Amino acid sequence: MKKKEDFYEESWTGPCADCNGTGIVECDVCEGEGEYNSEVCTACNGDGGKKCPDCGGSGKATYHMGQKI
């Protein structure tokens, strides 16, 4: 019988902690406004959001022993 701690040593996939599973994070250049210095933000093309770099936009991340891999 496995001890409870063994569960944490296994890898699992769950909602990405950085984007809360949405796959989109707020643009850090325009802070979600879509504009920067009164011009369309070039970092997000005016969307105000961008693909989450941690999960690649999937909204899911795989963790192993509490670390994202």
Q: Which residues within the stretch 9-68 sit at the binding site for Zn ion (CB under 5 A)?
A: 16, 18-19, 27, 29-30, 41, 43-44, 52, 54-55
Cβ neighbours of residue 35 closer than 8 Å, sequence gap 6 or more:
41, 46
Say which residue the tokens 């994070």 belong to: 25
For residue 18, the minimal CB distance to Zn ion (Å) is: 5
For residue 4, the minimal CB distance to Zn ion (Å) is: 28
State both tokens at 9: 């040593």
Distance CA 69, CA 55 (A): 10
Binding site for Zn ion (CB under 5 A): 16, 18-19, 27, 29-30, 41, 43-44, 52, 54-55
